[in-house]
Chains A and B, each alone.
Chain A
Amino acid sequence: MSSPRADNPCIVQSDRTILVEVDSPRYVEARDALARFAELVKSPEHVHTYRVTPLSIWNACASGLAAEQIVDTLHAFAKYEVPQLIQTEITTIAARYGKLQLRRDSHGLVLTVDSKPLAEELVRQREVAPFLAERASSCEFVIDGAHRGRLKQVLIKVGYPIEDLAGYREGEGLEIALRDTTRDDLAFQLRDYQREAADIFYASGTARGGSGVVVLPCGAGKTIVGLACMAQVQASTLVLTTNVTATRQWIAELLDKTTLTEDLIGEYSSYTKDIRPVTIATYNILTWRAGRDQPFEHLELFDQRDWGLIIYDEVHLLPAPVFQVTAGLQARRRLGLTATLVREDGREDDVFALIGPKKVDVPWKVLEHQGWIAKAQCHELRVPMSDALRMDYAITPKRQKFRVASENPAKTSVVREILAQHADDQILIIGMYVEQLQDLAAELGIPLLSGSTRQQRRDEVFEQFKAGDLRLLAVSKVANFAVDLPDAAVAIQISGTFGSRQEEAQRLGRILRPKPGTNQAYFYTLVSRDTVEQDFALKRQLFLCEQGYQYAIHDVE
């Protein structure tokens, strides 16, 4: 066992967090070692925070790491003594992995418990007992296949993970391969981290892989990881996305970079209901119902084909009804894709239990250093209010102050100044309040896309923007997610959804596709000075700050 060394980068705290000093010469070595059993919580400059959780330990165990190896790693990189308590906890938690195994045999799905006392303890757990009604022997329970997901959920909550070795349904076979050249004859190959993510997810087809979440920054090519996973699984695939624009981008990418042809790809949205071996659907259509008491009739899509893989794009937005269905889909391979595994409703645990553990999480700055996403400069511009507006703001009820501050008309002249500074760049102007965007778009003479814009018009405008025929575009939150606008280099955020961290990150993500030349993107957020909007802006920026981005703050006179 190694002794603590002053030049080691890790400080192991007694609450199982690990602080890692980025400036240490052993940082990279430590980061790679920690990634196997600790979760990266935040990664601002200088000090990154990791946390060892029961889930992260069980993930490590699942990948073949022993508790002693985890403890030895901590000793090897620790700057101070590793608290004894942590060593004991890691050993105790790790020992729980593998005590429960789910397998398939002649009885069907069978849960095997490694000891009789533990089996007795579990059948006495109120939450677990309903799933363990049928006993095959003193330590074996026959499980209803429909309860596989729920059982995993409740057992994790009582502190016993299931090692799920029951495997997956292979689903309807589908020949799919990635192309070497795109349809436009451009060379195409997976980047190393994309290939690695797909390999980790698939795990050579064993039961140890096949379900999990891949977290990559916006613009890092999560869709490509999805395509690579499809190419490994070789089965019919259902892809769920946030909106129709994203659906069509998936279809375009599938046609451009895989051997699939049009007749094999279907769109399932409010416009068409086309179910093919690869079907791309929106969350909205799946959760549509005629009335509050009516069933979600489109959820049947999950059963209408023998899907071998289900991909949840922007998994942090997965709606509750889809969670429920997913609990019954544990026999199918499931891949979650996201840039920000931050759910404003705090249901990250359900993503873990039902979609799968986080398999890959690459810090944004790592990909920025490697040149796979654009370097971004973030600026917060604090705009003053006129005296009249300041008085309005002062007497406005508290709940409406945010809107008054957000719609500060003085922001328009600041937008003009930014436009003048970036005269040659393609620029997105993003806002939350449609009336504010309408006024600004009218004043600048630029198109505006909002929720009420017809899909056909949206597609046309996005195409014009991508082709470079359009330099400026105003968008409401319809463009927050999954909209691929590779050439946009500047984003101006004139208002946002209160303190939403994931919205801020997603909006920055719109301009992070690699750029020719300096590979530089600019993100401006305009807030009214000394108002609640300024306070919310601070909260919005936290996720990006934790990913290593810094905001330069400027007071506009």
Chain B
Amino acid sequence: MTPRVVLPASIQAFVEAQPTLPFDNADPASDARPYPYSEYWRRAIAGMLLSGRVKPKIDGAPNMTDVNRIGKEANFNQYLFERTAKFFVAAHIIGVSRGKREYVPGEYAEAYWHRDLKSLQPALRRAFLAFFQQFTGHRPAVAFHSQLDLCATLFAGAFTGLSLPEEQVGPILHAFSQLPENDLEQLAQTLGLTGEPLSAASWHGWLDAKGQDAFVSALAMCDWVYAHEVRDQRWLYFSDQARIMLGLDDPPPLPPLATEFNALPNLCVFAGADLPPETLIPLFRYCKIQRVDRVLEFRLDKKQFTETPSQTPEQHELATALQALKPWPATIESFLNTKPIVSGEIRIRGCSAIVKPENREVLEAIREHRRLKGYLEAGAPDGYLLIKPRSDPYQFVKRCQELGFTVATL
């Protein structure tokens, strides 16, 4: 159980007056001590978003048709994908390139991939406030200046090791926010919070009924609260990662990183989820995703490989990602030499109709005819005539019929 700090007396009295249940976050059966935001599935979603296979909508949420497609391929829950993608965007870990309509690394991407929790803390607070703003609807003020993240920190600190009945969290939070500012300041000091000075007044006006719901929803979107069920009632408690990201607890030691990387002759690639993004993203982009797990499994698939649009026509990107595994098995070497079908140069010209005369004699007759040649333009494929883009093909047909040609549709 997380050790409880000695709370100021007034806060202690407030906490004791609430319906609570002791809760042990460190329950080994709950898998509750992962390193925050470093789970393999979260890194995989980041990789999938940055691979370009999922496009963003205007609001930054992922296109669910793409999510559905990739979710089916990887046997991955598409709703968890959607929720996590929204979280990454809200935390600026992943950004959206408005011009190209694609996901790009965000301001905090480096910190995320390198598990730099210190740098991630402001990103997470920003995400919480962004979700709160979104769920609370239109307000005259901006939630980013509301210090509600500090409110969440104090609330989590006051209820350390305790869970609250889900339907009462909002009212309890509201009552908590109304406590005398001096008491709250004292609590902040007890918890060792040394950030900007507390201004409880900035919370007022936000935590009405709708704001209370938005607050709890925003906590859930950041995975800061989880629920457990006791006596047919759901009880919410602050997660370990919430406490760490809010500065209430120290992070656990970094677990061993999964950095396996193998390319096998059966065209499988095993890649640990903790490999750097430069390695993982091309794999998500060009390969079929067989398994999302601690060690990700990919399969080199010709269809996927050749149909993926690429900035680098020779698709060196994947070869570069696999460079560390050289010498490659012969099957992989051969696979990587497959020519992509979506590369090279194409040229397009417009025309309003294409005409196929019966034979070369008829073709020449039309081309030389003073009433018809004006419709034509140069550069037609051998045996064909092109009607100029601005000419009316029906007029050309009419003229031909007047001159005695039989016209049929191609």
Contacts and interface: CB of A to CB of B under 8 A. Distances in A.
Interface of A: 4, 6, 11, 13-15, 17, 19, 21, 42, 44-47, 79-81, 83-85, 535, 538, 541-542, 545-546, 549-553
A502 to B, nearest CB: 15
Given A47-B270, A550-B265, A545 B331 contact: yes
Contact of B329 (A21, A45, A81): A45
Contacts of A6: 256
A535 B262 CA distance: 23
Contacts of B260: 11, 19, 21, 47
B42 interface: no
A80 B294 contact: yes
B248 to A, nearest CB: 25
Contacts of A13: 291, 293-295
A11 B268 CA distance: 16
Given A45-B264, A545-B266, A81 B255 contact: yes
Nearest to B28: A84
B264 A19 contact: no
14 contacts: A6-B256, A13-B291, A13-B295, A17-B291, A19-B260, A44-B268, A45-B264, A46-B262, A538-B331, A550-B329, A550-B330, A550-B331, A552-B330, A553-B333
B115 interface: no
Interface of B: 28-29, 31, 75, 255-256, 258, 260, 262, 264-268, 270, 291, 293-295, 302, 329-331, 333-335
A549 B265 CA distance: 8
B274 to A, nearest CB: 10
B334 A545 contact: no
A551 B330 contact: yes
Nearest to A4: B256
B264 A46 contact: yes
A47 B268 CA distance: 10
B29 A84 contact: yes
A80 B258 contact: yes
Contacts of B265: 44-45, 545, 549-551
B257 to A, nearest CB: 9
A545 B267 CA distance: 9
A84 B295 contact: no
Contact of B294 (A11, A21, A552): A11
Contacts of A83: 31
Nearest to A6: B256
Given A19-B270, A44-B266, A553 B334 contact: yes
B31 A84 contact: yes
A81 B291 CA distance: 18
Contacts, number: 73
A553 B330 contact: yes
B395 to A, nearest CB: 36
B267 A538 contact: yes
A164 B243 CA distance: 53
Given A11-B260, A553-B330, A553-B333, A535 B302 contact: yes
Contacts of B302: 535, 538
Contacts of A535: 302
A553 B335 CA distance: 11
B266 A19 contact: no
A17 B293 CA distance: 10
A15 B293 contact: yes
A42 B266 contact: yes
Contacts of A79: 256
A264 to B, nearest CB: 46
Nearest to A46: B262
B294 A14 contact: yes
Nearest 5 CB-CB pairings of A with B: A545-B266, A13-B293, A44-B264, A545-B265, A553-B330
A24 to B, nearest CB: 11
Contacts of B258: 11, 80
Contacts of B294: 11, 13-14, 80
Nearest to B30: A84
Contact of B264 (A11, A15, A17, A47): A47
B291 A15 contact: yes
> Which of B270, B291, B294: most chain A CB closer than 10 A?
B294
Given A19-B295, A84-B31, A538-B302, 19 more contacts: A14-B294, A15-B75, A15-B293, A17-B291, A17-B293, A19-B270, A44-B264, A45-B264, A45-B265, A47-B264, A80-B258, A81-B255, A84-B28, A538-B335, A545-B264, A549-B265, A551-B265, A552-B330, A553-B334
A359 to B, nearest CB: 25
Contact of B266 (A4, A542, A552): A542
Contacts of B75: 15
Contacts of B331: 538, 541, 545, 550-551, 553
A84 B30 CA distance: 8
A552 B330 CA distance: 6
B330 A11 contact: no
B339 to A, nearest CB: 8
Contacts of B29: 84
> Which of B31, B270, B291, B331: most chain A CB closer than 10 A?
B331
A550 B264 CA distance: 10
> Which of A4, A6, A542: most chain B CB closer than 10 A?
A542
A40 to B, nearest CB: 14
Contacts of B270: 19, 47
> Which of B31, B268, B335: most chain A CB closer than 10 A?
B268
Contacts of B255: 80-81
A15 B334 CA distance: 31
A47 B29 CA distance: 30
B254 to A, nearest CB: 13
Nearest to A534: B334
A377 to B, nearest CB: 12
Contacts of A4: 256
Contacts of B267: 538, 542, 545
Contacts of A542: 266-267
A83 B333 CA distance: 35
A542 B258 CA distance: 26
B76 to A, nearest CB: 11
A541 to B, nearest CB: 7
Contacts of A552: 330
B303 to A, nearest CB: 9
Nearest to B339: A530
Contacts of B329: 45, 550
B335 to A, nearest CB: 8
> Which of B265, B270, B302, B329: most chain A CB closer than 10 A?
B265
A112 B266 CA distance: 46
Contacts of B334: 553
Nearest to B265: A545
Contacts of A14: 293-294
> Which of B28, B262, B266: most chain A CB closer than 10 A?
B266
A550 B327 CA distance: 13
A46 B75 CA distance: 25
B389 to A, nearest CB: 31
A83 B30 CA distance: 11
A220 to B, nearest CB: 22
